Structure 1
Amino acid sequence: MNQVATTPARSSIWVPVTGLSIFAIASGYLMSLLPLALGHNNLPTQAASWLASAYYIGLLIGSLMIEPVIKRIGHRMAFVTFLTLLAATVLLMSVNGDLNLWLGSRFIAGIAVAGIFVVIESWLLIGDSKEERAKNLGLYMTSLYGGTTLGQFGIGIFGTAGMIPFAVVLGLLLAAMLPAIAAKGAKPNVEQHISLSLRQILGLSKPAFVGCIVSGIVMGSIYGLLPLALKAEVSGNDKISVLMAATVLGGMVIQPIVGKLSCRMSKTVLLALMCLLGVFAMGLYLVDQSYVTQIVALALLGMSAFALYPIAITLACDGIPSQSIVSATQVMLFCYSVGSALGPVAADFYMGQEQGLMAYFFGILLATSLYMLLVSLKTKPAAVAH
């Protein structure tokens, strides 16, 4: 058991939320920019899946390293540190188009983003009740996906060629640091951080583990390969940005609903229902590929895919004291990262097939929904051993 004492904190929620929102705009633009910028940098199209996997492998490794950093320098300075590291990778990629450098930069970026996620999630999830945690996580996800939605429009506004897109992303990342730098006394309300033991980790809800892994599989493929899949089906960056924005906007819109439902019904059943919504969305997309239908279907996919992680992480945190939230969020991010690292590689196989990426989403979400329904029928929610 590791712990660190802190002084009584001033819980300035606006600091992580504001910083996260600006970061999300930059991240949303960057994640859609990279697959589309390959051609401008004389890189092969296949590099899209390699870059996505390098990023999520970094996210995976980073998820194992974050807790000691937060314990040593605190949430506020950890947030600034990880944003600085991410900004450095963007700067490197903007001045050099070498594929190996891009792969290395995306790997380091994954480590940095793992730190950002654990800092923000644990900052906002520290609370004494399920309702408070669900409300704060809803705020977190809404800020994240709202910013990411705005970021998609960067493709149409700033384009995908040259230095300007990278300069815009870099400027946004630097701006995201300002709230944490300005509010020197901001920190979450917690007196100590306690690491979960292996026994406690294994006592976490199994559907929570599965939910985070599947969320990573789907989200990694959405961010890493969906812009490329859409490029083969629609013409113009403007349409791609609208379709990507519809996907993320759907994820943002569903967050308040998910926050309320997670307090009123079984989270395992709710995970099953969200997966079934994604199955319906992909069925709709495969049946009718008109532009309007694509917008509706991808918005529904966003509702499904973006809801899985917040439901799963709140399920995992049920019954966990505030002091262990940092440790628990690190474990769940690790599971998400496993899925994120594997997802784009497996999805790349489907990219060359007739039904493509949408059939991949259909199969993954259908299998997950069946698992969640079976678990909800056979077992009760698992309790954590303290």
Structure 2
Amino acid sequence: MTGDAAVAGSAGVGARIGQLLPILVSAGILLAGNGVLLTLVAVRGRAEGFSEVQLGIIGAAYYVGTFAACLLTAKLIQRSGHIRIFAVMAAVAAVAVLTMLLLIDPWVWTAARGLMGLAFAGIATVIESWLNALADRGNRGRILSIYRIVDLSSVTGAQFLMPVVGAGGFAIFVIVAILYCTALIPVAASRLQSPAPPESALLRPRAIWLLSPVACAGCITIGLTNGAFRTLGPVYAQGMGFDVNRIALFMSLGIAAGALFQFPLGWLSDRFERRTILILSTAGAAAASLLLSHAEGRLIFAGVFLFGGFAFPLYSLSVAHASDHARPGQYVELSLGLTFFFSLGATVGPFAASLVINHFGPPAFWLYTSTMHGSFVVFVLYRMTRRPPVPAARRSRFVALIRSSPLLLRLTRSRAEDRP
């Protein structure tokens, strides 16, 4: 490439990133609001006298809504367009937050959280549809990296809104609603044009299971464990005597560690048998859980860092393993199927974990997660006796994922296929 061509190419990439700025700003605001609300629901719910079981049901409802969005949002966008659906979903999320403030009732909160799961996953589909439209061979990696940085910094930083504002009173709910409404402004005021509507994929759980039983079982396990952690981790921390400041630190350590460990584990999974790395990461999460089941004081923070580091990358590792067996045109259907299996686990996980905490106390939460992870290790070992590893030449590149909408997998797999 000549010097002039290089400059022109760089300018083109810069212009494309500039087009993304309104989307990324809106995404960051939405991720911040959703991140703090996941923690707030548990903390405020306990303060209002909700039981662990009620909080588990409220948490499960969020993931039911998330899965419903995966089925419905593409059709809604095809009918009404990206910007309108973005506005509708943000408004639904804001109304749901304010309803939770006005009506302090566990069943009202359950319905509101279901609507919020629907709204947030719908918004993610809109955002990632734009990312798919704007990404090309020259900028796909940078777009994905920026999106992950926005996700990590927003969700982790938002945890500390609670110590600043407080979990009691009305202010924190109003701030979250303001965040959802504010997220409309960058997109609505921009010159963004709606891309082609996302395709509707068929949901065929049996076909996806036959494609990769390990990935499907992995997504179920991740729903059972990580879904429960995001919902009930604050309940555990409260039960161990943590104040709001330490709860925020506890949750942010787990989330940040998950991002930090993604890349070394992914690097290893590209160079060794993917299922071996899945076993190592799952065993690490199980060991961290056993440590936390007996930990006290500062050791809890070390334990949750290790748990997040090994547990959160399991989704990306499972998707990468399934992608090794998938055809190029199958990625959206694959992601929808894996979202289905994750949703199964995440719907059951918070409720099951809440029963464990209710009957045996907060530390027993970690015995629950270690049991789930240990069971998955046994299943992967069994599957390794039934199916040979994917040859290195046919193995897809690992890409660290946030679990949001089926469209993101198409973007990440396109990026992997671009690499030599």
TM-score by length of 1: 0.83
Does residue 145 of structure 1 match 2:161?
no
Q: Distance in 2 between matches of 1:367 and 1:229?
A: 22
| Cα distance, 1:160 vs structure 2 | 0.8
Q: What does residue range 191-202 of structure 1 map to in structure 2 within 5 Å?
A: 193=199, 195-196=201-202, 198=204, 201=208
Does residue 277 of structure 1 match 2:284?
yes
Q: How many residues align?
A: 370
| Cα distance, 1:128 vs structure 2 | 8.8
CA distances 1:72-95 after superposition (whole Å, capped 9, x unpaired):
345554444322221221121122
Distance 1:120 1:156, change over 3 A: same
Instruction: Give the superposed CA RMSD.
Output: 3.3
CA distances 1:89-144 after superposition (whole Å, capped 9, x unpaired):
11211222233322211121122223234445565578899xx9888666544433
Q: What does residue range 241-256 of structure 1 map to in structure 2 within 5 Å?
A: 241-256=248-263
| Cα distance, 1:192 vs structure 2 | 6.9
Does residue 302 of structure 1 match 2:286?
no
Q: Distance in 2 between matches of 1:122 and 1:209?
A: 24
Q: 1:25 aligns with which of 32, 38, 47?
A: 32
One-letter code aligned to 2:312: F
- SS in structure 2 of the partner of residue 244 of structure 1: helix
Q: Distance in 1 between matches of 2:166 and 2:327?
A: 45
- 8 Å contact kept, 1:142–1:253: no
CA distances 1:145-194 after superposition (whole Å, capped 9, x unpaired):
33221121122111111110101111222233333323443566x79736
Match of 1:86 in 2: 93
Match of 1:155 in 2: 162
> Identity over aligned residues, as a percent?
25
Deviates more, 1:265-274 or 1:146-155: 265-274
Q: Distance in 2 between matches of 1:51 and 1:295?
A: 26
Distance 1:64 1:237, change over 3 A: same
Q: Which runs of 5+ in 2 are unaligned?
A: 1-15, 395-420
Q: Distance in 2 between matches of 1:200 and 1:284?
A: 38
Q: Which runs of 5+ in 1 are unaligned?
A: 1-9
Q: 1:347 aligns with which of 350, 353, 358?
A: 353
Match of 2:342 in 1: 336
Q: Distance in 1 between matches of 2:258 and 2:366?
A: 17
Which structure is larger by alpha-carbon Rg, 1 or 2?
2
| Cα distance, 1:327 vs structure 2 | 3.9
Distance 1:67 1:101, change over 3 A: same
Higher RCO (C-alpha under 8 Å, 6+ residues apart): 1
Q: Distance in 2 between matches of 1:70 and 1:262?
A: 36
Match of 1:178 in 2: 185
Deviates more, 1:84-93 or 1:178-187: 178-187
Distance 1:289 1:43, change over 3 A: closer
One-letter code aligned to 2:231: G
Does residue 95 of structure 1 match 2:102?
yes
Deviates more, 1:59-68 or 1:83-92: 59-68
Deviates more, 1:336-345 or 1:281-290: 281-290
Q: 2:373 aligns with which of 356, 365, 371?
A: 365
TM-score by length of 2: 0.76
Distance 1:343 1:191, change over 3 A: closer
One-letter code aligned to 1:65: L
